[in-house]
Structure formats: structure tokens, C-alpha cells
Amino acid sequence: MTATPAPPGPRSAADGGTPAAPAGAARPPRPGRAPTPWWRRPWIVPLALVTVLFLAYSLPPYLTFDPATSRMELREDNPLHYPLIIGHILFGTVALATCCLQVWPWLRRRHPAVHRWSGRLYVFAGVLPGAPLALAAAVLGQQGLAQQAGNAMSALLWFCFAVAGWRAARRRDFADHREWMVRGFALTFSIVANRPWLMLCVVLAEPQLETMYGGNEQAMIQAAAAASVWLSWVVNLLAAEWWLRRRRRPARPRRVARV
């Protein structure tokens, strides 16, 4: 009976082959595209700087918990108006800070645990409590129906986008999760965008002060504030949707030059 020859094993380095990996050794990483360093994202530092400057300017008057220092017009006939605003601002601060971490790709790839915990803070200590308070404060506001409607619609969408993003992450649909987070980011930063929009709207409305507003400067500022409320979140959301559609679009095949 003829013995069957054993299949040839891996050649050793002495035979000109590749040395066999010892048992239990980790496999070498697959070749692929290296993660982009954080400093190669040119928008990260400006985003963080704008967030810090905005909070440093806007937050201190409300940390005194004194209604006299509020920059928003309060209803004297409803004592709940100021606590609603304070709660929304505090929870909104958490959402604003953690949202910067959520949209940072380097942090998501290199430190996924930090990304997950900042996402939980964003949802459960930021948007979910902050959005209903913003909705209630908008209903009680005295800035006019247009401004109330704009703030209320923004608060409702803010809440819905956070829930949709959290549910997508729970079912591990991370592509859908990132899209909802981009939309939530657009609404979260609408409060920051509101300031330049307000200044622009005041500049555009000022030539009509005598004609359109009969010289009433307060009415002009109120109309400009209402316009800036809508522009701040609608334009942000449109820009976010444009960016998402642009990323979904498949790359065009390169044309091969004919010789």
C-alpha cells in the first residue's frame, strides 16, 4: 500500500518563503485608507471656536438665574416663562457642546466610546429635554405669531430628528444615523446662525423704517427678528440636505483620454 504524500506546508524563511506566523499572533491589519488626522479637517477648529465664543457671550446672563438679566422679553403674567427659558438654555448648551463632538469624524473613528457617550448626552441631556421646553417657551413668547411659529416648528423638528437618529443607531443603521445627526446639527446651530441673520435683516429693513413701519423702530426690529428665526434654521436645514444629497451622489467615472 502506497502512502499518500502529505500536502506541502508553508515554506520557511530559509527556503525562500514567508515565515509562518506563530500561533495566537494577531493578524496584520488589512491595507486600507488611513483615517484623516483631526488637523486635516479645516472646519473643526473654527466650529469649536465659534461654539466657545457664542456660549461665552450668551450663557453668563442666564447663569445668575435673575430674570432682570434676561436678554429675552419675559411675560410678567406667567411666572413659568423664565424657568422654561432657563431650562431650554441649559439643556441647549449641552446639545451645542456635544453636537460638535458628534460630527467630528476623527473622534468617531479613534475613540468610538467617547462618540457614543457624547451622543447619549446630546440626545438625553440636550435635545429631548431642551426641545419641549423650547416649544413651551415659544408658545408663551411675546414676539409675535411669525416668530412663535418659527421657534415652535424648529423645536418640533429638533426633537424628531434626535429621536430618529437615536433609533437608527439602536438598529445599527449607522448611515441613516449620520444623516439624521447632520440634520440635527443644522437645527442645533440655528441659534448661532440667528445672530448674523438678525443683523442682516435689521440692515435690510432699516431703509423701510419710515415707509413700511411708520417710524416705529420696535416694530421693525420685531419683524427682522421673526425673519431671522425662520432663516436661521430653514437655510441651515437646506444646506444640510444639499450636503447629504451631494455625498449620496455616485462619483462620475473618469473619461479615458483617447490617444
pLDDT tens across 197-221, in order? 999 999 999 999 999 999 999 999 9
pLDDT band at 102 (very low <50, low <70, confident <90, very high): confident
- Sign of the C-alpha dihedral computed for residues 46, 221, 141 and 78 taken in this order: positive
pTM assigned to the model: 0.78
Q: Which residues of 138-170 are buried (b: 16+ CB within 10 A; e: fewer)?
A: bebbebeeebbebbbbbbebbbbbbbbbbebbe
- Of the listed ranges 11-20, 33-42, 196-205, the least confidently predicted one is 11-20
Instruction: State the pLDDT confidence band at 117, using cuts at 50, 70 and 90.
Output: very high
Tens of pLDDT along 149-173? Answer: 999 999 999 999 999 999 999 999 9
Full set of structural domains in the chain with CATH = 41-247 (1.20.120)
**Residue 104 pLDDT class (50, 70, 90 cuts):** confident
H/E element, 101:
helix 81-102
Which comes out higher in pLDDT, residue 104 or 95? 95
Q: What is the mean pLDDT of residues 66-90?
A: 90
Output the nine-digit C-alpha cell for 89: 438654555
CA atoms within a 13 Å half-sphere pointing along the CA-CB vector of 178? 11
More confident of the two residues 17 and 125: 125
253 versus 242: the higher-pLDDT residue is 242
**Closest by alpha carbon to 154, among 138, 143, 168?**
138
Provide the mean pLDDT of the chain: 83
With 0-12 CB in 10 A as exposed, 13-18 as middle and 19+ as buried, what is 201? buried
